[in-house]
Each structure stands twice: as C-alpha cells, then as structure tokens.
Amino acid sequence: MSRNAVRQDPYRPHVHYTPAANWINDPNGLVYFGGQYHLFYQYNPYSSSHAHMHWGQAVSTDLVHWQERGVALTEGEHQIFSGSAVVDWKNSSGLGDGTSPFLVACYTGHTETHQAQYLASSQDRGETWTLHPDAVLDRGKQDFRDPKVFWHAPSAAWIMTVVHPIEREVELLRSADLHTWTSLSVFGPTGETGGIWEVPDLFPVLDDDGQEHWVLKVDLNPGGPYGGSGVQYWLGDFDGQRFTTRTPSRWVDHGQDFYAAITWHDLPERRVWLSWMSNWQYAHHVPTATEGWRGAMSLPREVGVSVDADGPILVQRPVPELQILRQTLRPLHLGVTSLQVDQAHEFLLNWSAAESFHVRLEFRSEAGIEVSVEVTPEEVVVRRPKTVVTAGLDGYAGEHRAPLPPLGAYDLHLFLDASSLEVFAGGGRAIITDLLFPAQPICEATCTIKGLDHGSFTGALWPLSQADFST
C-alpha cells in the first residue's frame, strides 16, 4: 500500500508510528547507533493477523519522523519472537571483524513446542543481518522468552533479563561474550500474577536529587488493571546479581493500550521507551484490517523517578522532540472553551493547587461524545464509551482511573491522534493510554475548568503537523 493511500484511512495515526501495511505488535531491539534510533518490532509481512513473526524495522534521527525499512530478521526454522539489540563496541561476541562496532540482536526463536534465545548480527548499521543458527540459551521449554540485554559496567559484563511466563518469573543472567550465559538470580512470582509474564526490562534512572533507582518492569496477560494485558513495575536496587525491591508493584500505565515497552540501548543521558499501543483482549479485532494494517506504537517517552511523600514513583513524559510538530498555538481559558479540531492535537494545561478543582475535556464527533478526560485533586479519569464501531470489542468501553498524589502544581498533557489518546498528568505520575475508534472523525473539543483562579491557570492547544513515515 502506498503512503498516499495510507493517508486516506480515518484511523491511521498522524504522529504515532505504524508501518504502511500488515500486523505489528511488541517493539524489539531498540538501540541508538550511528546517530539513528533503531526501532524493530514484531511484524507479519503477509497479513494483518498475528502469525509468521519477523522483525520489522524503522529508523529515525529525531524519534518523530520514521523511515520504514521492511523486514530485518526473517522467519525460517522458527519464528522471530521478541528480544533486544545492543552495540558490541569491542567485539566481545566475536561476531565482528574487529575493525568497528556493530549491532547484535538477541531474540526468542519460537516453534509451537519450543522457545530458546538466539543471536543475529549486523555489520552495516542494521541494513542487513546474519542469523546465527545455534541457540545461546536453551532450557528445553515451550515458554521461555523475551531476552532484554544490556551492558553493566560495574560487572564488566552483559546482563540479560528473560521471562519464564507460566511460572511468573524473571531470570537474570550474566555473560562476557553474549554466547555463554550464567544464571544469577530469579525474581518472582510476586506483584500481579493474574496472567503470564512477558517482556521484562531492567534499567537505572536518577531522581531529581541524583539518586539512582533501578526499574524492573514486566508485562502480564491477562490480569491488567481493567482486564486483558497490562504493565507493572518495581523500583529497587541491582547489585550486579540480584534485583531487590523498595516499592510495591505498581501499574506503568492505567489505560488499556500500553504493552511490551522496552528502553533504547546505548542512548546517552536519558532513558526513553515506547510500547505497542494495543491490548491482547481485542488486538485481533480492532477496526483497521480493512485498510490492510493493524497495530501502532505509542509516542516515545522519557522515563524518570520522582520522590513524593509516599516514596519514589516512576514518571513518564513525552519526549521534547515532539514539539517540532506543533503548529499555531491556540489558548484555552477558564470556564468553558469549545474548539474545532481534526487530525492530531496536543493539549497542555498547568495550574496551581486548589482545595477543589475540576478540569474536563470532551471530544466529540457528529455522533456525540467519543471520549472524555477529567482531572480532580485525587485522580485522572478517561471515559471511553462503546460506539457502533467498537460494539464487538470486548473490554473496550469503560472508565480508566489513575491516582494523583497531593501536589503543589498540576498539569495535564494530552495527545489526541486519529485513533488514540495519551494522557500525562501530575508531572508524568499518572498515565493513561487508550486506543480510540470514533464512530465518525472527532471535530470538536470542549474544555471545562472549575475551581481555579485566573492567575493560577494557563492552557494551550496545538494542532500537530503530520509526522513523516516514509518507506
């Protein structure tokens, strides 16, 4: 399908990455190398259904505009399930020629009865790949997958997190060469265990005072906050062998459609991740397949930690690079503001704390209210009603709530696209990501603000230009 034809699709994202055609799910192999952000993902090049898993590929220089490169890792004796990629700077794997750094992917090879971890390498910055035939980690199990590999400088070794899905366990392993792996420890089962565990990630971030916190994140399906799939995390410490928690399990996202997030490897000075924007509860049935595609990625997010009265908490904020898409600013005022909208928009509201306030955004099409967002001192709520388009999607309609701690200042940062809504509130403490399939295109936004003084509030809306997703 040409990109010109793609633009006519009413649900095709304007600022969220999706390939021109076919099925995608989990992001894989996120790595920054050669001045490019590499995005690989689970991809079926033959249809808009989940089958024949390959790794698709796209690259970007700014996390906003993406060039689709087609298939990177091709299905053969096994399907190419999820995994990660690293830069092998010193040829520790022995897979390079010793003259320059190169990319190594570690992925799960999947058959109907067996899963094990394999390597692939690229000497030309991801343009072409060599799949190496022998498994580097094989436990003889049917369910054993999703290796996330990173370099741990204090140990002078590669560390892998990998899941035992049925057992609800994350295993940590160490290697000097990416081939031979030694088990270090096992985390779990703990936290949310209502579904199998998938797609782990382990990484450090600094809070505002410069203290290091390690984040262990793992997905589960089902057992999410509203049924279907979801993402949980813990904050704690990693000593090179074992992860120990300092917080209870919490949800990464309180919406329905954020799954399988992983962080970019070798990205200096910050942590950025994105996710598959869907839910296994209804992913196979979202109303896009008639246009030849199914699945999209969330916006990239910077990940950090804030320390509140109740302790440290994960925060997520949209990457600042997205601001290059902003068009002419349109102000929002106290009281009621109604605006005509189409395509993609960004909203940013800021206000000082008040004893009682109520901020509400409603998005309407000619068919009526398609979704609403409310913020009070205690929580953020997204209400996603059933429509004629989504009547067959079990679990789609409902209220999604994210708690807010007491704060001195509040904000609501929201991205509305053709078929999605991403809500960031409370300095990135409360996150809700929801797919949105309006019965007709959204044409109006109404912002209602009560309980605030004029001097305490600022609000803005930007229409967003179309991000370039080229092939």
- Of 26, 219, 253, 417, which residue is the catalytic one? 26
Cα-based distances in Å from 388 to 120, 287, 363, 393, 433: 45, 11, 17, 10, 21
Determine phi and psi for 120, rounding to 5 degrees: -140, 150
Determine phi and psi for 250, rounding to 5 degrees: -135, 160
Determine phi and psi for 325, rounding to 5 degrees: -85, -10
Please name the residues in contact with 125: beta carbons below 8 A apart, sequence gap of 6 or more.
33, 34, 36, 103
Between β-strands 230-238 and 196-206, what pairing exists: parallel, antiparallel or unpaired? unpaired
Determine phi and psi for 323, rounding to 5 degrees: -65, -15
**Which tokens sit at 398?**
């409902």
End-to-end CA distance of the chain: 10
Alpha carbons 462 and 330: distance in angstroms, whole number: 6
Nearest Cα residue to 61 out of 107, 125, 14: 125
How far does CA 5 lie from the centroid of its chain?
A: 27
Active site residue 26: yes
* Per-position DSSP letters for 411-465, written without gaps between them: EEEEEEETTEEEEEETTTTEEEEEE---SS---EEEEEEES--GGGEEEEEEEBP
Alpha carbons 14 and 35: distance in angstroms, whole number: 24
How many other CB atoms are found less than 10 A from the CB of residue 368?
12
**Which tokens sit at 379?**
């929580």
For residue 298, the one-letter residue type is S
By annotation, the residues acting in catalysis are 26
